[in-house]
Amino acid sequence: MKLISEQWSDDVNYLIEEDPKTGKKHAFIEGVMLQTEVKNKNGRIYPKEIMQKEVARYNKEYVEQNRAYGELGHPEGPTINLERTSHLITSLKEDGNNFIGKAKILSTPMGEIVKNLLNDGARLGVSSRGMGSLKTDRQGVNMVQSDFQLATAADIVADPSAPDAFVDGVMEGVEWIWDNGVIKAKKIEEYKHSIARARTHKLQEVKLNVFNDFLKNL
């Protein structure tokens, strides 16, 4: 079995909903989290029957138990790191060949960064993460096999083609970054300094470098 990650959506919907009991407002994202029967950009196909079975298990063991967490960024392993969680998946439903998911943005340091990014207009997508084996067919397509298991239906990932809103959101979210985390407030100040010193014709390049460095340090 190997780690399999797929970015399914480049632009999820951002929702603000009010709890009818408490009146408190909560932030959610919603969109396509999984897709079957089509070759994705990584050259893989998820058979619908296999995904249906796995989503049923994931819903029962994780979503319904309020422990279907996801992270901000691209984790390198299948384990969910609680200190990096940004959201909780609250529903995952079949819609044709797609599975539409909804996730509540948590009041964690990473969750607050997500809220700032979305409030500043950043385009965010979702990426599934799981373990499984692949079998290559005659056309060279990698078919995901029946041992596939989801680690999470959705991590939140950023769109590097739109670094401006990303940078603005990170700067505003600096107070939410843990001092004992993987990226510290001092690093954010370095990012600000780099952008402030950048010449006009180099500004976009500097912002993109900041973006990439931030993702590497998550």
10 Å Cβ neighbour count for 138?
A: 5
Task: Output phi, psi for 94, to 5 deg.
Answer: -75, 135
Catalytic pick from 74, 91, 133, 194?
Answer: 74
Task: Give the orientation angle of helix 203-217 with respect to helix 163-172, to 10 degrees.
Answer: 60
Q: Is 74 a catalytic residue?
A: yes
Give the chain's radius of gyration (CA, Å): 18
Identify whether the C-beta of residue 69 lies closer than 8 Å to the C-beta of residue 203.
Answer: no
* Dist CA 175 CA 182 (whole Å): 14
Known catalytic residue: 128?
no
Of the listed 9, 86, 87, 127, which one is catalytic? 127
Residue 189, SS3? helix
Sorted by sequence, the CB contacts under 8 Å of residue 116 that are 6+ apart come out as 169, 170, 172, 173, 176
Q: Which helix (DSSP H) or strand (DSSP E) does residue 144 occupy?
A: strand 142-144
Which residues are catalytic, by number? 74, 127
